Structure 1
């Protein structure tokens, strides 16, 4: 780079850079943010922070453990971390090794070099969006119910659901383990056999909560699919297929995760497979 030498000579500047590591514009380019030249422009414009401080010198050296944001969105510097979206089929349990011998998630992770695990769970009878990663901190925040990551489900339920019943889901109902309400709920239409299609969004992490809510209002679930998890949308990903998260998706996810880490600073060991499930 034309200004590389002058940037490196700034190692004792006010930004207090790490004596080791890579130059900021280089790691930004490696993370897929932009080319080195464009990354330098972003830095000069004051749009980049390192560990919460605005950095305007591209020579700032950073480590993979530093927290870098561009326009407030986190970027991932650690290239050893992997983030994968799976459209989990019905009949697969959310475990890396099922003791009962049922189909598990190893079928979808064996082709990856990294040792991936699931963020939270979906019941064997529920299909849809599941995140697989080797980032334990992110998994802890996103799966733990106290951090309130929203999930959106599409349910096919028995019977013709009325507008009043849909309203009950958002106003709140009483279950055996306490009151609960959906953040959003809406009718999507009818299905064959007199069934109804309903969309439910909530952030609760209680077990089988969508099924129990719909059963409580008199419309047992026939089929259930998770279409959205936080900022992630299942889109057109086929059942049983996986794909890496895009840079934009990962940025949104990391921003949520780091916010949760800063707020809670959990010290307990991460146990991703013990998380609540639907």
Structure 2
């Protein structure tokens, strides 16, 4: 056979007359293209699952692919092992049954003014605290705990679900200090009753860490420290003794204070403050 002739295999790797190179089938360029079957779990939009996992801080994208293939990841309750599967930010993505958040953790402290609702918008035209922190972050943060519409003071927001859950149900409560204005002077008898734990709310004894009259102020103004996270607990304490709370200002929350934080303003927590909250 002459040097210039082509055998039956040369058309797969060499040039044919006209100089055009044929694609090598050995590299996966089959002339028959099979239509890829789409998984019933696939989403057309959103981000790749491995990126979602990597953004949450669990591991790298390459490691995420291994965990996905091993069946360690679920999306909306279903195990997903498909490479390239896409998810939305609203999907419930879990790694070893722990829900993941692909957004950077945000921690925002607001000095809430009166007249803003913490959750919902129960009255037409009512304003919420979310308006006050709208420029703080684009992340979907939520408030931890509640303050009444007319209450003032510290309110913490975060998208860190682990910390939020921990602070919402702490074993020993969270240290909080309130400055309170009552509709009348607090009597010495009721002062001692609160101080010694003689107040019962809904059948349970309320333990107060400290109570004091504010120096050089009428006895309608009181400082109260407690760890309870029960809703409306401060108002209930005084109401049970025949007092109405006219003003409520939370000045300390879990070690956080209003120092250098004017009413209606917000700031991001420092890394050390986040660490301290995680240790509560």
TM-score, length-scaled by structure 2: 0.58
After superposition, the Cα gap between the structure-2 partners of 1:234 and 1:175, relative to the gap in structure 1 and judged at 3 Å, is same
Q: Report the Cα offset of residue 164 of structure 1.
A: 3.8
1:159-198 maps to which residues of 2 (within 5 A)? 159-172=184-197, 173-189=199-215, 191=217, 196-198=220-222
SS of the aligned residue for 2:250 comes to: strand
- The answer for the alignment partner of 1:143 in structure 2 is 168
More helix by share: 1
Which is further off, 180-189 or 83-92?
180-189
SS of the aligned residue for 2:267 comes to: strand
SS of the aligned residue for 1:200 comes to: strand
Which one has a bigger Cα radius of gyration? 2
After superposition, the Cα gap between the structure-2 partners of 1:80 and 1:195, relative to the gap in structure 1 and judged at 3 Å, is same
- Render the CA deviation track for 1:126-149: whole Å, top value 9, x for unaligned: 110000111011111112254411
2:105 equivalent to 1:98:
no
- Select the residue among 225, 228, 232 that pairs with 1:208: 232
Tell me if the contact between 1:145 and 1:204 (Cα under 8 Å) persists in the aligned partners.
Answer: no
Tell me if the contact between 2:146 and 2:231 (Cα under 8 Å) persists in the aligned partners.
Answer: no
- The answer for the alignment partner of 2:44 in structure 1 is none
| Number of equivalences | 179
After superposition, the Cα gap between the structure-2 partners of 1:254 and 1:199, relative to the gap in structure 1 and judged at 3 Å, is same
Q: How far apart are the structure 1 equivalents of 2:211 and 2:219?
A: 16
Tell me if the contact between 1:158 and 1:220 (Cα under 8 Å) persists in the aligned partners.
Answer: yes
- Render the CA deviation track for 1:50-98: whole Å, top value 9, x for unaligned: xxxxxxxxxxxxxxx9xxxxxxxxxxxx981111100111111112x42
- Unpaired runs of 5+ residues, structure 2, are 1-58, 61-94, 96-101
- Unpaired runs of 5+ residues, structure 1, are 1-19, 22-64, 66-77, 257-278
Q: Report the Cα offset of residue 204 of structure 1.
A: 1.4
1:25-36 maps to which residues of 2 (within 5 A)? none
TM-score, length-scaled by structure 1: 0.58
2:272 equivalent to 1:244:
no
Tell me if the contact between 2:213 and 2:219 (Cα under 8 Å) persists in the aligned partners.
Answer: no
Q: Report the Cα offset of residue 161 of structure 1.
A: 2.5
Q: How far apart are the structure 1 equivalents of 2:274 and 2:208?
A: 26
1:194-273 maps to which residues of 2 (within 5 A)? 196-256=220-280
User: Relative contact order (alpha carbons < 8 A, sep ≥ 6): 1 or 2 greater?
Assistant: 1
Q: Report the Cα offset of residue 190 of structure 1.
A: 5.7
Q: Report the Cα offset of residue 157 of structure 1.
A: 1.3
Q: How far apart are the structure 2 equivalents of 1:114 and 1:88?
A: 20
Tell me if the contact between 1:152 and 1:229 (Cα under 8 Å) persists in the aligned partners.
Answer: yes
The runs of at least 4 consecutive aligned structure 1 residues that moved more than 6 Å come to: none
Q: CA RMSD in A?
A: 2.4
After superposition, the Cα gap between the structure-2 partners of 1:198 and 1:109, relative to the gap in structure 1 and judged at 3 Å, is same
Q: Report the Cα offset of residue 184 of structure 1.
A: 1.1
Tell me if the contact between 1:190 and 1:197 (Cα under 8 Å) persists in the aligned partners.
Answer: no
